[in-house]
Amino acid sequence: MNSYSFPFNRMRRTRAKKFIRNLVKETNLTVNDLIYPIFIVDGTDKKEPIPEMPGLFRYSLDILKKEIKNIVDLDIPAIAIFPYISNSLKNMSGSEALNKNNIICRAIKLIKDTNSELGIICDVALDPYTEHGHDGIIINDYIDNDETVKILCEQALIQAEAGCDIVAPSDMMDGRVKKIRQALENNNYVNTLIMSYTAKYSSSFYGPFRHAIGSINNFRNKEKSTYQMDYSNSKEAVLEAELDVSEGADMMIVKPGLPYLDIISKLNQKFDVPIFAYQVSGEYSMIMTAINNGLLNKSVIIETLTSFKRAGCSGILTYFAPIASKILNEDK
């Protein structure tokens, strides 16, 4: 017989006052859990609104410098930078990704000069740079795995050389974590972290991001389902995680976020490496639009972010990072 019973157990006792609610809280979200993805664009004095992601902008590097100060003042520990590349610099192989003076490398150096403590994460993938908007190169009408991985290794190396702290392969090619780890070791970047997009699902929630980086109109074939995961699958994420951990990933990302809490929870039970959720552009835009229209209160932001922690995340990549930091600081 169950020894718990009413009225000896009244669940509402630990809910009755704020102090006791705080004491029994199982999950605490702090600013230290947040990574802010930020969009950059060439030029000067640019702060271009991204209509598909209300409240967010693409920054030219001079304006980014000021923005970095704001981010550091909020105590956000790390940012992930994403480039908007003009069509004139895009080609079939995404060669601008390997230009040591591309906007990402220049941004890394500028951010490190502005504040060397702020962690920098860079996507390793070709989609911002390819004419077709895919993450790899196309050979015989197929996103070729092994040839793409060779390019990704070079891309990761130039990011590490520029001073990036964490490379984040988001391409979902097979074996890329292993090859990138070997390339980093061989070139003496032994402390460059790999945060692998381990379980990245082929998702329509990435739509606003593709507008933000200007790849939306480049797609010949809008599907990335020959390399990103099918959202029907869960066991497959475990296998992806086993491979990534054995290939040398320090951390894993599950992406998108909220519709995939079951995957986070499952990986958290099976693996000892830190897991991060990416609350992606579509999730941001949905919530933000509802807040802007008075349909939801902004406290849903903290509620969603806390749910990632509850599911087992060490942290969250979220476009809400600055707003969430302000709310968390106000609540102190």
Total residues interacting with ligand PBG, rule: CB under 6 A: 12
Q: Which of residues 85-144 bind ligand PBG (CB under 6 A)?
A: 123, 125, 127, 135
Which residue in 243, 199, 203, 221 sits closest to 143, CA to CA? 221
Among 103, 245, 261, 280, binds ligand PBG (CB under 6 A): 280
* Marked catalytic residue, from 90, 179, 255, 266: 255
Which residue in 61, 71, 160, 155 sits closest to 106, CA to CA? 61
What are the tokens at 271?
């693996």
Closer residue to ligand PBG in complex, CB, 155/170? 170
Which residue in 269, 273, 218, 265 sits closest to 243, CA to CA? 273
Minimum Å gap between C-beta 24 and ligand PBG is 34
Closer residue to ligand PBG in complex, CB, 127/165? 127
200 a catalytic residue = yes
CA distance 228 to 235: 15
Closer residue to ligand PBG in complex, CB, 224/309? 224
What are the tokens at 127?
């989609």
From 151-159, 202-210, 238-246, 290-298, give the range in contact with ligand PBG by CB under 6 A: 202-210
Among 201, 209, 260, 308, binds ligand PBG (CB under 6 A): 209
CA distance 77 to 162: 19
Minimum Å gap between C-beta 3 and ligand PBG is 47
CA distance 256 to 86: 26
Which residue in 194, 201, 165, 191 sits closest to 179, CA to CA? 194
178 a catalytic residue = no
User: What residues line the site for ligand PBG (CB under 6 A)?
Assistant: 123, 125, 127, 135, 170-171, 206, 209-210, 224, 280-281
Name the residues annotated as catalytic: 200, 255
